[in-house]
């Protein structure tokens, strides 16, 4: 029983984080059909904001808000630097500019801060553990689960009930049509980037809360997770991203428990092989997105 609870909490907390990461990527992809390679760096930005403000004596919650705000700012900046100037040209051009922007941010961190890991301040609650039904769990896992439930619900509400969300979904379904009906394109795209940055910021806090330090390459793993989760989920569908995130977490956690120490090092390779099998079966991903519209 204790094992079952342990397993469930592990899957849910990892899956919640994965789902949020994937969601942040899909929101952009859904509207623009463009992949944001600089997404992982938003998490890095959140982490370094925490590190840089750690000496200021601000309460932790304020620093966290600041970190998320910086991730939002850099999300919008990504739009202006890497996406807007080349958006109309070609898919490859945007892939390359966002890849270059990601490298730019990483190397800026390398140059101006340090290649070495930096400590991030964390409240005590992140390192405490509790016992639920005999299973000893870090509190941060429960925080992650709670945060992901709240955020997923909030995003679902935003997308379904608010004008902004409906406009975003309309733009994702058929961008040209949405524009003709008076949806302001640039505003919608920038809001999508802001939302993506917000999700990255929150995930960044939770993710870095697990590790405790931030390095310039910290965004790589979340980026990869988001990539794989969205591909499994179907690239264009928001529920698909969430499902993909949880499925990936399930695969990862199961492998964590079942693989021997020698094989555990290859976990990513195993996960990826499973993903390839899923894609052999369903090349379109698990959940089909809205009918394809014109790319902008």
Partner 1 sequence: MKQSYLTALILIAVIAVIAVGSQMLGIRLYDRIATNLLISLVLVVGLQTFMGNSGLLSFAHIGFMGLGAYTSAVLTIPAQMKGMALPDLYEFMKVVEISPMLAMLAAGVVAALVAAVVAYPLMRLSDAAAVITSFALLVVLYTVMNNWSALTNGPRTLFGLPKTTEMPIAAIVAAIVVVVALAFKESRTGKLLRASREDEVAAAALGANIPHLRWRAFILAAFIAGIGGALWGHFITSFAPKAFYLKETFLIITMLVIGGANTVTGAVAGTVLITVAYEGLRGTEAALNAGSSGSGQVIGLTEIVLALAMIAVMIVRPGGLFPNREIGHILTRSRRKKEKTA
Closest among 37, 194, 181, 211 to 120, alpha carbons compared: 211
Residue 254, classed as helix, strand or coil, is helix
| Residues 47 and 214 sit within 8 Å (Cβ to Cβ) | yes
Which of 19, 44, 231, 238 binds partner 1 (CB under 8 A)? It is: 231
Query: Is residue 33 involved in binding partner 1 (CB under 8 A)?
Result: yes
Given the rule CB under 8 A, which of 14-22, 138-146, 184-192, 224-232 is the region that contacts partner 1? 224-232
**Contact map string, positions 115 to 154, toward partner 1, x by CB under 8 A:** x---------------------------------------
Q: Does 259 interact with partner 1 (rule: CB under 8 A)?
A: no
- What does the alpha-carbon distance between residue 4 and residue 34 come to, in Å, rounded to a whole number? 40
Q: Name the minimum Å distance from CB 151 to partner 1.
A: 23
Nearer to partner 1, 34 or 147 (CB): 34
Q: Which residues of 122-137 are buried (b: 16+ CB within 10 A; e: fewer)?
A: bbeebeeeeeeeebeb
Size of the site for partner 1 (CB under 8 A): 46
In whole angstroms, the minimum distance from the beta carbon of 291 to partner 1 comes to: 14
The yes or no reply on residue 280 touching partner 1 (CB under 8 A) is yes
Sign, CA dihedral 125-127-128-132, equals positive
Nearer CB in complex with partner 1: 48/126: 48
Question: Whole-angstrom Cα distance, residue 2 to residue 133?
Answer: 6
CB nearer to partner 1: pick between 108 and 146 = 108
Do residues 189 and 56 touch, judged by C-beta distance below 8 A?
no
3-state secondary structure of 1: coil
Q: What gap in Å lies between CA 78 and CA 25, rounded to an integer?
A: 13
Nearer to partner 1, 93 or 158 (CB): 93
Is position 97 an interface residue for partner 1 (rule: CB under 8 A)? Answer: yes
Whole-number minimum distance, CB 227 to partner 1, in Å?
4
Per CB under 8 A, contacts with partner 1 among 159-198 are none
* Main-chain dihedrals φ then ψ at residue 206, nearest 5 degrees: -65, -40
Among candidates 25, 30, 27, 35, which has minimal Cα distance to 97? 35
Residues that bind partner 1 (CB under 8 A): 29, 33-35, 81-82, 85-86, 89-93, 95-97, 99-101, 103-104, 106-108, 110-111, 115, 220, 224, 227-228, 230-231, 235, 265-266, 268-269, 272, 275-276, 279-280, 283-285
């Amino acid at each position: 029983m204790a094992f079952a609870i342990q397993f469930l909490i592990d899957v849910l907390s990892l899956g919640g984080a994965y789902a949020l990461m994937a969601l942040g990527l899909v929101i952009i992809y859904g509207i623009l059909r463009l992949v944001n390679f600089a997404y992982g760096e938003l998490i890095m930005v959140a982490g370094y904001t925490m590190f840089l403000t750690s000496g200021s004596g601000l309460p932790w919650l304020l620093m966290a808000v600041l970190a998320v705000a910086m991730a939002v700012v850099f999300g919008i900046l990504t739009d202006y630097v890497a996406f807007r100037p080349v958006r109309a040209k070609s898919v490859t051009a945007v892939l390359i500019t966002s890849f270059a922007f990601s490298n730019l941010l990483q190397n800026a961190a390398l140059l101006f801060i340090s290649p070495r890991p930096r400590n991030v301040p964390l409240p005590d609650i992140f390192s405490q553990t509790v016992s639920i039904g005999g299973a000893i769990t870090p509190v941060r896992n429960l925080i992650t689960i709670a945060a992901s439930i709240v955020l997923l619900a909030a995003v679902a509400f935003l997308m379904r009930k608010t004008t902004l969300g409906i406009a975003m979904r309309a733009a994702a379904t058929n961008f040209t049509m949405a524009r003709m009906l008076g949806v302001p394109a640039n505003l919608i795209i920038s809001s999508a980037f802001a939302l993506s940055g917000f999700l990255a910021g929150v995930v960044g806090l939770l993710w870095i809360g697990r590790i405790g330090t931030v390095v310039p390459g910290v965004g790589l793993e979340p980026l990869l997770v988001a990539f794989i989760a969205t591909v499994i989920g179907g690239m264009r569908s928001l529920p698909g991203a969430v499902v993909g995130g949880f499925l990936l977490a399930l695969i990862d956690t199961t492998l964590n428990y079942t693989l021997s120490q020698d094989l555990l090092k290859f976990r990513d390779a195993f996960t990826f092989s499973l993903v390839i099998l899923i894609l052999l079966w369903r090349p379109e991903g698990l959940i089909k997105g809205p009918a394809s519209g014109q790319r902008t």
